[in-house]
Amino acid sequence: MKLQKGNLLSMQMKLSPEDFEPATKQEQEELNKLTANTSYWKDAWRRLKQNKIAMISLIVIILFILFAFVGPSLSPYTYDQQVRGDENMAPNLKHLFGTDQLGRDLLTRVMVGSRISIIIGVGSALIVLIIGSLYGSIAGLLGGVTDNIMMRIVEIIYSVPDILIIILLQIVIKEPLQKAFDSGSALGWLQKLGPGIVAIFIVYGLLYWVGMARIVRGQVLQLKQMEYINAASALGANNKRLIVKHLLPNCIGTLIITTMLQIPSAIFTESFLSFLGLGVSVPMASLGSLASEALNGVQSYPYRLLFPAIAISIIILSFNLFGDGLRDALDPKMKK
């Protein structure tokens, strides 16, 4: 009893009249924020808005999308239009980015090249998302021998050189694709891109999904031990329903982050291959092909290399920074 009284006296000595004053308005607002009921996505959006670098990157991405998809329709020139007498013209009011050796407006070609890069980046990332998530979830859910066989296949695919496969695919599918382009009008729009870009999509569908599959498999191995998965299975849910309704929706944060970080990787791959002449077909413009064409006169006309290089750098940097910010926002461990 003496010890308890001593503790009470010591607590009373530490308290002061100021401790009993009403909370200020700022303190009440902070308490309401801490105790407010919020959803996972609202909380993630709040954390993302607090990341200034990620928000600036998002604004840059939106501006580049407008630049790539709306800009060409506002330009008085087309990407393949040759203006006689305007060959190798430096940047001016008539051609803001200058012209190339054929008199084509470089601003319009950079816009179209940015469009091609974004389309290929997003399209390749969606291919990786669909194939990788399904493959990884199946391997993680079934487990055992099936999981071991599927993961050994993944390890074999990891060892395949992707550039070599793209070159071989171009040689193999070039003639059949050309016949398909000539015979079917539905595929006519792909003819402007050429077999190189189609080969890139095929290679992403064959090879690049393995990283996504391994990440999803790890998530599924953790989730399938949860009580709600066991309850759904006990109630008669088959593997398809478990994957579609329970496992993949609970991996959505990881799927979004991995897909977002896959976009700049695909853009860089396309730009690199187009730089080597394995991407889009002439006269279609790509940021990589524009940089490759500019090398011939880089000392006399450095602006022809400068603008495509800046566009590639800004696009890849913005997607990477936004992907990092998105990862921090969607990671529950980052919650404060």
pLDDT tens-digit readout, 42-74: 877 888 888 899 999 999 999 999 999 998 888
pLDDT at 110 over 60: yes
Provide the token pair at 125. 């990332």
Rounded CA separation 62/326 (Å): 15
DSSP code for 82: -
- Please provide residue 107's backbone torsions phi and psi, each rounded to the nearest 5 degrees: -60, -45
Contact 48, 41 (CB under 8 A): no
Mean pLDDT of the chain: 80
Q: How many residues does the chain have?
A: 336
pTM above 0.75, yes or no: yes
- Please provide residue 94's backbone torsions phi and psi, each rounded to the nearest 5 degrees: -75, -40
**86 Cβ partners below 8 Å, 6+ apart?**
94, 95, 99, 103
**Half-sphere exposure (Cβ direction) of 252: Cα atoms closer than 13 Å:** 8
Lowest mean pLDDT among 21-35, 238-252, 276-290: 21-35
Contact 114, 311 (CB under 8 A): yes
CB-neighbour burial class of residue 66 (10 A; exposed 0-12, middle 13-18, buried 19+):
exposed
